């Protein structure tokens, strides 16, 4: 019985480690986020230094390769190629359209 419990725990730890092996380190996420803020010109905005929520999001949703790419990026174009912290685009709704676009749709 005890052996089965130890084996189950060991297997759980091994599977957890295997699942997390492509997850970036917190420090790497911070470097990537700092570089991204520098590239897009937001490094001096108030509150940028307290980005632990973004670090957690980076660790959960980015690969090591994407974070390394974002750390090395020099331009916005470089950063866009990294697949770093991408947010899925939501489809446009009528609320997102300009007032002129809404008027055109109503007249159809």
Number of helices (H), then strands (E), belonging to the chain: the values are: 6, 0
pTM (global) more than 0.75: no
**Residue 15 located in a structural domain:** no
* Predicted pLDDT at 59: 92
**Residue 70 located in a structural domain:** yes
**Residue 2 located in a structural domain:** no
The residue range of the domain holding 26 is 20-87
**Residue 40 located in a structural domain:** yes
Report how far residue 31's alpha carbon sits from residue 74's, in angstroms, rounded to the nearest whole number: 13
Q: Are 13 and 51 in contact (CB under 8 A)?
A: no
| Count of structural domains, the chain | 1
11-55 pLDDT tens trace: 444 444 445 588 999 999 999 999 999 998 888 776 655 788 999
**Residue 24 located in a structural domain:** yes
């Amino acid at each position: 019985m005890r052996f089965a419990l130890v084996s189950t725990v060991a297997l759980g730890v091994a599977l957890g480690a295997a699942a997390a092996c492509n997850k970036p380190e917190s420090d790497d996420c911070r470097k990537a986020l700092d570089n991204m803020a520098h590239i897009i010109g937001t490094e001096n905005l108030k509150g940028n230094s307290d980005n632990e929520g973004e670090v957690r999001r980076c660790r959960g949703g980015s690969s090591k390769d994407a974070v390394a790419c974002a750390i090395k990026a020099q331009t916005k174009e470089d950063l866009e190629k990294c697949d770093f912290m991408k947010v899925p685009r939501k489809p446009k709704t009528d609320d997102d359209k300009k007032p002129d676009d809404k008027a055109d749709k109503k007249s159809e």
